[in-house]
Structure 1
Amino acid sequence: MPLTDRIAILAQGRAAGLGLALSVVWLVLVLLFWLLVPGADQGGSGIGRLLAFVGVVMPLVLIWLAVTLADAIAALRAEAEDLRLRLSQLRDGGPRTDNGRGAGPVMGGGIAPAPPTSSLPADPGRARQSAPPAARARPADSRQTSMALDDVQPVQVPVQMLVQALNFPDGPDDTETIVALRTALKDQDHSRVLRAAQDVITLLAGHDLYMDDLPPQPAPISLWHRFAEGARGQAIAGLGGIHDPTALEIAATLLREDEIFRDSAHHFLRNFDVMLTRNLPRLDDDQIRQLSDSRSARAFMLLGRAAGIFG
């Protein structure tokens, strides 16, 4: 059972038990008053009977209102603890769930000896049928390989490898993308973008937002070139190609209410913006289309639209 459920159930049981005990004590006191106080059982005026009824019922209402509030506070604390645990595991470079599967794409904390040895399970049933080969699986299903960021050295990364790396591998058999990701991680600037993309994709997946479920509306290639030339705001609004209202509402709520998510999202948006500006002139039209359909680009479109950077 997840940590959140265990804590919430335990707190709920204690609060409900205390509320029941207090309710029984109060009803016993009312009964004793009714039986032992002279004249307590005699009928009075209508207002008197109303006040007596309110006096009996109101404490019960207050008791169970307190129980409900205690349950809500316990659930919030459990969610906060679970989020802290997830983020701690991400920083350690190896988040694991109770069944041994990872919670999201992992690139730090160790080197996978070879792509076929990756522990990431393939799940073809959750892949998008109409997607290009480089974008078929959900990052939240742990189909990204484990990568190391130690000894990062400046290298010249081919643009096609960068485009593939921004989508992350589909699974342990996606050796071509794994090689591209390993190569891109050797460049400090690219590794910064990939780390930031990993963080936001994992956090979004924790709220059931998966990039493979959010196909973007394609934007004209000319609009991407305008972005590379420095256009921003309403002039490049068409680049925010994700319009799913539920996803946008969740993302906007997280940006507004979750400080950790907000910092991660703004860090990702800044780095992805710089990466696009620097690399778009090196891409041909097909590579731009492939990049715009990658998981990282979808996260950029979703968070950018939720944050209002597209006007």
Structure 2
Amino acid sequence: MNDKSDTSPTPIGVYGRVGGARITSVEVIAGLVSVLWLLGAGVFFLVLGAGEAGTLEWLTAVMLVLAIILPVAMIWVVVAVARSSRAVREDSQRLQAAVEAIRDSYMSGMRPPTDEAGEDSISRKLDEIAAAQRKTETALATFHSTRSSEAPKRETPEPAPVPQEDQAPLPLDVAADAEQVKLPNSTLIRALNFPETAEDEDGFAALRTALRDRVTANLVQAAQDVLTLLSQDGIYMDDLRPDMARPELWRRFAQGERGRVVAGLGGIRDRSSLALTAGRMRQDPIFRDAAHHFLRRFDAMLQDFEPSATDQEISSLAETRTARAFMLLGRVAGVFA
């Protein structure tokens, strides 16, 4: 693209040029007319009215003086108006020149930066985005490795003994899997927020404890899937600042209420995140299935969590990354409408 570099410079002194000091033809004509009028008046008084000058009353004399002076005054009023009009026209021309200069300066400033400072600024922004992406990928990769290391430690139940002909069939012994140990609410909340960094030992400890519960592990897996898919569009839960709802609304939602009474739970106001998520929901069936699966898992967890949770624990749950993903996806999917 060719740059407009050959623009002619503005003449020096164009903004301070004053043209009201010179004498124009208007002033010359006005002066001649004034002189002729005064000469005519003088001839009238000295020649034609010399015999009657002594008999004039003072009021008549005043009127005659005004009759002589007023035309001259009107002539110079017209001259003053003409000079003012010329000054306004010259000011308008100077203003037009200033506007053109400002426009040219603005257009030259619209060109993409090619200097080193502009390149350094762009590179710095790209490095910041890449660092944020690596941070998320590191946490998720550590989470994968932790889950993989925990998986082999689970003991598979031994097969039930084959009943003999003279022995009644016994039920399968699945008590070890059927009885799930209920997680403390604080551990569940810490696990659903995921580890902050790769050195977050408390976060990984809570996550390992939560993964031992089958229901919670399914929710964590569903949350991890949607967080990973959202990060592909540059949507990170740490960047969202939702309007936090009261614990009473979360309790009413957990108890089955829907519609406008719980609309305050959709506190995500970031328009770009909402638009990107809605577009992904319409166009990507994999993302849509993962989102609906996550919403169902979170809804089931909330129903079990709410009866034993305090208001403070519900508020802490609402501030986790998993809950923010639920607010975002739930608002896009119309759960709170």
Give TM class, smaller chain: 0.5 to 0.7
C-alpha separation between the residues in 2 aligned to 1:106 and 1:274? 27
SS state at 1:230 partner: coil
1:219–1:239 CA contact under 8 A, matched in 2: yes
Matches for 1:182-193 after TM superposition, within 5 Å: 182-193=208-219
Match of 1:203 in 2: 229
> What RMSD over aligned residues (CA atoms) do the two structures have, in Å?
2.5
Deviation at 1:173, TM superposition (A): 2.5
TM-aligned CA distance change 1:189 to 1:100, over 3 Å? closer
Identity rate of aligned residues, in percent?
A: 46
Match of 2:264 in 1: 238
C-alpha separation between the residues in 2 aligned to 1:177 and 1:227? 27
Match of 1:262 in 2: 288
Q: Does 1:181 align with 2:207?
A: yes
Match of 2:304 in 1: 278
Deviation at 1:215, TM superposition (A): 1.5
Q: Does 1:169 align with 2:158?
A: no
TM-score by length of 1: 0.54
SS state at 1:177 partner: helix
Match of 2:316 in 1: 290
Match of 1:252 in 2: 278
SS state at 2:301 partner: helix
Deviation at 1:223, TM superposition (A): 0.7
Match of 2:45 in 1: none
TM-score by length of 2: 0.50
C-alpha separation between the residues in 2 aligned to 1:254 and 1:239? 21
Kindly provide the amino acid, as one letter, of the partner of residue 218 in structure 1: M
Match of 1:310 in 2: 336
C-alpha separation between the residues in 2 aligned to 1:254 and 1:262? 8
2:142–2:198 CA contact under 8 A, matched in 1: no
TM-aligned CA distance change 1:182 to 1:103, over 3 Å? closer
Deviation at 1:111, TM superposition (A): 3.6
TM-aligned CA distance change 1:278 to 1:264, over 3 Å? same
Deviation at 1:159, TM superposition (A): 0.8
User: Could you tell me which of 131, 137, 144 is aligned with 1:102?
Assistant: 137
Residue deviations 1:268-292, cap 9 Å, x none? Answer: 0010011111112221111111110
Q: Does 1:157 align with 2:186?
A: no
Bigger Rg, structure 1 or 2? 2
TM-aligned CA distance change 1:241 to 1:149, over 3 Å? farther
Kindly provide the amino acid, as one letter, of the partner of residue 294 in structure 2: F
TM-aligned CA distance change 1:103 to 1:175, over 3 Å? closer
2:243–2:268 CA contact under 8 A, matched in 1: yes
C-alpha separation between the residues in 1 aligned to 2:182 and 2:251? 22
Match of 1:139 in 2: none
2:138–2:198 CA contact under 8 A, matched in 1: no
1:255–1:262 CA contact under 8 A, matched in 2: yes
1:168–1:295 CA contact under 8 A, matched in 2: yes
Aligned length: 181
Kindly provide the amino acid, as one letter, of the partner of residue 306 in structure 2: L
Gaps of 5+ in 1: 1-98, 113-145
C-alpha separation between the residues in 1 aligned to 2:333 and 2:275? 11
Deviation at 1:184, TM superposition (A): 0.6
C-alpha separation between the residues in 1 aligned to 2:191 and 2:224? 11
TM-aligned CA distance change 1:262 to 1:147, over 3 Å? farther
Match of 1:226 in 2: 252
Deviation at 1:102, TM superposition (A): 3.0
1:201–1:210 CA contact under 8 A, matched in 2: yes
